[in-house]
Amino acid sequence: MTSRWQIEETVHPTQGDQSLRALLERSWLLPHRFVHYLRVREHVLLNGRYQPMNTAVTVGDRIDLFFDGDEFRTAESSYRPDPRVIPPVVFENRDLLVINKPAGLKAHPNQAGEGGTVLNGVAAYLQDQPQAAAYMVHRLDQATSGAMIVAKNPVVVPILDRQLSAGDLHRTYLALVAGHFAQPRGHFTWPIGRDPQDKRKRQVNGLKAQPAWTDYRVVGESGGQSLVELDLKTGRTHQLRVHLAFSGHPIVGDPLYNPQPAPRMMLHAATQRLRLPFSNQFQQIEVAPPTTFPANLVNL
């Protein structure tokens, strides 16, 4: 059997003693429409043969999945390969990679044919890998550096989307901000919406505000600035930047919310934690902040 995308997996420990359907939908988080196509086309094989969805699976069974493309909302990756901007790859397996995004590089194109973005660089990096291409999972602001996940096939995009919604895909950031915090730990829970005066910006209690939650921990302080570790509990646009600015501690170099001279916006995605698709094993990837961050605070 040949199809555009093929996935070969085994039933991992803790995934046995359930039906094939439960394995696909509950353990592997495949959308219902994927499972529908796999069933009606007999594009799922259990130990080399098609079996009904209620067939029990056991640890070590081989599962082969075949996808033609019409199962996906976005089947083909359309990012133009641009070898000038291939970012450093810090983790990679069959299904995804994590790159260290440089500050100043856009995450993705905004129009057809555009180059010079992270996804253009990843597309160039993946050109020689069969069945692999660049698919966006989440983005980082252009001025932000650090760990960013890119999917290598359309099968895992909805799996990672579900992880993101469930909080199993978790990012920790470092930010250099203005001022001294009264409390070394805390959280911000101000809702965030659009700024009616500037379509580029967001603001606390703005238009169509949505709940937002950010945890912070002060790592160190020096010269009227603080280095803070930040955990996102929600994922609103500009959430960290807006929460910190509203708290009186704007990020150093933030061009929208703290337009003071600085080499760059001092925000870095330092840690990426996720469950690897299919195995469900937790993977933590750490990316050290660039040298623009003050060494006396980073190395505390």
Please list the residues that pair with 50 across neighbouring strands: 45
Question: Helix, strand or coil for residue 255?
Answer: coil
Query: What distances in angstroms separate CA 187 from CA 30, 230, 276, one per listed residue?
Result: 34, 9, 29
Q: Is 63 exposed, middle or buried (0-12, 13-18, 19+ CB in 10 A)?
A: buried
By residue count, the chain amounts to 300
- The secondary structure of 162-231 as a DSSP string is HHHHHT-SEEEEEEEEES--SSSEEEE---EEE-TT-TT-EEET-EEEE---EEEEEEEEETTEEEEEEE
What is the maximal distance between C-alpha atoms in the chain? 67
Task: Kindly state the helix (H) or strand (E) to which residue 157 belongs, with its residue range.
Answer: helix 157-166
Residue 141 annotated in active site: yes
What string of H, E and C letters represents the secondary structure of 81-97? CCHHHCCCEEEECCCEE
Side-chain half-sphere of 40: how many Cα atoms within 13 Å? 7
Say which of 82, 95, 141, 254 is annotated catalytic.
141
Catalytic residues: 141
